[in-house]
Chains A and B, each alone.
Chain A
Amino acid sequence: MTASKYSSPRATLRTTIFGLSALGVAAYLVVTAVMFAAIVWQLNRVFATDVLDSLSAEVRTLATIEESGGTDALRTTVQRLSRGSNARLYYLSGADGSKVAGNLAALPPRFAEEGSGGMFPYRFGEGPRAGERYAAGLAVALPDGGRLVVARDVEDQRQVIWWLRLLALAGFAAIALGGLGLGLVASRSVLSRVETMSEATSRIMVGELSGRLPLAGTGDEFDRLSESVNAMLARIEELMHGMKEVSDNIAHDLKTPVNRLRQRAEATLRTAKTAEELGAGLGQTIESADEIIKTFNALLLIARLEAGAIEETKTKLALAPILTDAVELYEPVAEEAGVRLFAERIADVSVDANRHLIGQAVINLIDNAIKYGRHSLQAGNGKETGSSDTQANIKVSLHQDSGRAVITVADNGPGISAKDRERAMERFVRLDKSRSLPGTGLGLSLVAAVARLHGGELRLDDNAPGLRAVLSLPV
């Protein structure tokens, strides 16, 4: 299953969002580490300078005391000082190396040499409260061969720096863990959204065309993406539905004439005895073939129009000549059919359109009006239509209405009942009354397709009486 692809830990770590948060955390850590290091280094330096300054000052003072008062004066001073603050540490040894005075228990081992100094641990206190602390000290050699060590307890400063380091480390750890954790959570949540989308697309891919991507309802970027994908899916479904419908209809409506062709050919083969009979039979066969070709051509044209691939053939097109030409072309046919076809109120409107397609659409509308308007009128009345009231007429007009060019072809025939009007524009739909007439059943759907392609629409209205076909196109 594809879902597991997204829920594996590796997938979680490979997301863009996790990568970005890891990078952010790393950058933050580097910057703060440098900062902390600088602070600690500076603090150390300040503490050390401080301690060293006061130690050397004291050493100088004690040296002066020793010079003026001798070893005894120094010993008393050290004894006095040793009783003072806990932080001040002293050790005075005699020429033989034994302790003479001071509050340090022993000479720090490294201080035995000449001129040495530095950090050393020392024992502090007694009993259970005893402990080891650190001190910084300086050692000087005395003229009598003894040795003086002056030291300061620096345990508190050490503690400060130690705590600072600990705090920094803890902070780093918290930031690293928190940042990466948040990254993981975000990554997981993105992945789960992607996963649901991916599951939905998988379902759609295997044929569930009505499926849609789920929306979280938050209006975030995923919802926006899902919405546009869903719009696309809806369009695809519509197209697929159209394709299926067309292929069903082709199967149904083309099989009939193909079968008729076959039967005619068979009948001719079986029954024709003379060359004349054969010729007539073949003539009929060719007629059937032409009928099929016409249907195919119309279907192909509609299919192309619905694919919407004619954008480059559009030009600025004045509609008036298109209408008057079409009326002029059909006027004799209409007259012969006993229909008065005329153009009225032709406004001067131009649209961005393909001349041939608009011409064909208008002609289809007029052709339809003559064929069905007239035919049904006669069928309805049964008898000759004597009075001028029942004179069949078809009026073609053009006007502009709120940014739209509106072409109207109106007849006064029986019209189409409200419930059939939508259906009449569908492919291959031939309303019962028209089945006996020649035609492919594609005329109106072609007009509708032309209209849609130009961003317009075809509407069938009641002309009371009759049908009013309204083709509106954006100007």
Chain B
Amino acid sequence: MTKYVLKRLGYMVVVFFTVSFLMYCLYNLIPQDPARLELEGIKTSLKPAEYEARYQALREEMGLDDPIVVRYARWMGLAKDRKGNLNGILEGYFGYSRYFKKDIVTVVKDPAVNTIFINIFATILALGITIPLGIYCAVHKGGKFDNFTQVLTIVGYSIPTYIIALLFIYVFAVILRWFPVSGIGTPGANYTGMKYYIDKLYYLCLPLMVMTFGSLGGMTRYVRAAMIDALSMDHIKTARAKGVHEKTVIYSHAWRNALLPIIGIVIGWFLGIFSGSLIIENTFGLNGMGSLYIKALNNHDYDLALAMQMFYTVVSLVGALITDLSYGFVDPRVRIDK
């Protein structure tokens, strides 16, 4: 097991450097001149001679005339920067956001907290509903409730989240006035303690409802299908023939077998708490990772976008390892140490 994990970690390092180099090259292929972009806002206040001097100085400072391998090595922290220091990703320095004019770590902090806060609730809520619902539908396959759920989930699955969000806003915020249209807290309220969290949750009710509704379809159907497969296995029939209690058959025998195909998805959801939902965040005015990423791209802040992508690369690599290891915990047949 330890050997397997070490081997996988070794692969991860290779994949990380390969992906990071490819990503770095791709972002550098985008036709843009960061030095010119940097000066564009103050161009009208600069006399031509000063503009040129600053432009050349910025190109020098940004190392734009150096070969891409040298720039990559500096960005990664494998080569010394212009000040003679190793200061890159490997040293914990993720770069500088040219749009926000701040270190990337500072820029990402608030959106990351918001995204994780929202996603934890959304994931727990969605799994808390979809797993029991999927099991119930599988056990009562073909019944009225199952048919109704099938229709409801296919509707939820088919309608884009954007439309669901606008519909929910119109119904629950504009017509009924139960929830606020957008935002993450009452402006200027300065709440503290429990009241702060209750206020925050109140503002997040609507986005959470949309996220949950949007995810009901897929997961419920996954769980239902997996459970139907599991319930049709021979050992389930044997257990029932032996007179094992129905709850034991469902939750102990069938559910454990049904877990295998969905465990990857469930773990993926939990790892997904770091990645924001662009549509939800933009529609509800939430300052999260999804909206930050698109803002970085729209404003040509490729250092920020690249740093975020590298973070997601690491999360994905770790997630893949955890998923593979978790299969072993759920299904003894695929344990590595056997």
Q: Do A and B form a real pair?
A: no
Chain B residues in the interface with A (C-beta under 8 A):
none
Chain A residues in the interface with B (C-beta under 8 A):
none
